[in-house]
Structure 1
Amino acid sequence: MKQVRKAIIPAAGLGTRFLPATKALAKEMLPIVDKPTIQFIVEEARKSGIEDIVVVDGKNKRSIEDHFDSNPELEDNLRAKHKDEMLKLVEETTDINIYFIRQSHPRGLGDAVLTARDFIGDEPFVVMLGDDLNNINNNGNALTKELIDSYHQTGASTLAVMRVPHEDTAKYGVINPSAEVEKGLYNVTNFVEKPDPKDAPSDLAIIGRYVFTPEIFDVLAKTKPGKGGEIQLTDAINTLNKTQRVFAHEYTGDRYDVGNKFGWIQTNIEYGLQHPQTKDELREYIKNLGAKLSAEDQKKTK
């Protein structure tokens, strides 16, 4: 069985939910305290044993490429001023085998994955979506590592799922599980893209991490546009599942959705409470803010 060595990170979206900030800045470069969201994804990939990463980007995404490129002027400045810790942080972003492919037209997630076909070749690979962060404080295994371990046991495509409130199923692709073959690992009858809650077959939602066998590319190449006129990855997974088993691995750790404003703010707060340069001041600020809000609520009830 071939090892999983490569990852695709789709990053061609327009980021409209964060306008006007994303008018000229890639959504994936929005920071969590002091680190762009895409850097968390790259770090998770490397922690999971991934050797080569391809970012499928689009127009106005140059800032991602610049972030992972060297900046000799900055590095020389930090070195001359003996700012060794800062220099280390900067150099870590360039010590990565990372490549870039442009998705010329916004044809959907399935098309973005297909765009990287030549890069992947005839190998199993990982797809990692930038809106989903997990294990931001590096406690325990990364979700991608869990999926790769599962793949090495089954040899089958495997995607990550997590239980969500039933009313939220319309926001996700949802699985219709047929059997739990072992704890947290499901055979799947079919996959449903953003079902109405009354029609959702389960509360197990797909959360943006996948391991695929290379056969998914042949399926994607034949997949017709679905919802929104885009090539839906979920449609291709359904087709693949008819000829190869596709498993769902249930993740039970912490997950952060940075694809919406509240989730992004929440992630900044939780990461900030762990960051050595912000945790103490932020904790004190939250305490004082809580007391202030409580006092205001008391005034309103009088």
Structure 2
Amino acid sequence: MGIGSLSSLQKLCSIEANHDNNNGNVLREVGKLTQLRRVRILKLKREDGKVLCLSLEKLKNLQSLLVDAIQEDEIIDLDSLSSSPQRLRTLYLGGHLQHLPRWIPSAFNLVRVCLAFSKLRDSDSLRSLQDLPNLVNLEIFNAYDEEELCFKAGAFQNLETLMLAVLKELIWMRVEASSMPRLENLSLVTCKLMEDLPSGIEHLTNLEKLQLLDRPYSLISRLRGDLQGGDYWKVSHIPEVVIGGWKDGHWQGSFLSEIRRKKEECSSCLYLDSRDFDK
């Protein structure tokens, strides 16, 4: 208590929303820290949302906001915020979101957004993010509970990095032409029901790195060309393709291009040996 007297404080990481059952007083104190640029709130309950929003409206210099719910299925309610913090560049929300906060479309300076455990139910939930002019990095971790995900034409014009991780229900993903035209890094991690590459991945002509980690064996086999109708051609325009998974307590990965090169060398050696034998 009394933390609001630290009037020059710029960074506060982290503070529990209701430490010692303070009835929201700590969150009210945060509103007095008008010089804050970065704040992380832990153990937020649904009923704390309005008090937090009242404080956030006073933080005109806020650039980074990280909010973790008290548990994964606790709803984070930030809709009481009348307008977005105009200098906000980084937003992390860890907890159940019935929908993304309504002020998101006006958060024009957002550069990075991370959503965890959000339980979003349709791709329309992400529409409020797709037109943000400065959004460069988007991370979705165990936050989307549908079988299909579509990135519409013209969406995410400046996005450079996209990570989709632990999407347990996702089976099919589509990238329409002119979507994410500047995307350079794409990571698909532990999407175990997704047995195919994203439809339209060939539209991502600026993609420099693709990571496929902890993915179905059938997909990896087709990329390696082990199965008839291999899919390697779909990613041949990407300089760096990493495939791997969790083994012996840590991630193990390898470059697909290196695997292909070694396989082609082996095939060439076998061809030469058989030709010499025929002579």
Larger Rg: 2
Q: Which has the higher contact order (CA 8 A, sep 6+)?
A: 1
Same fold, judged at TM 0.5 (above): no
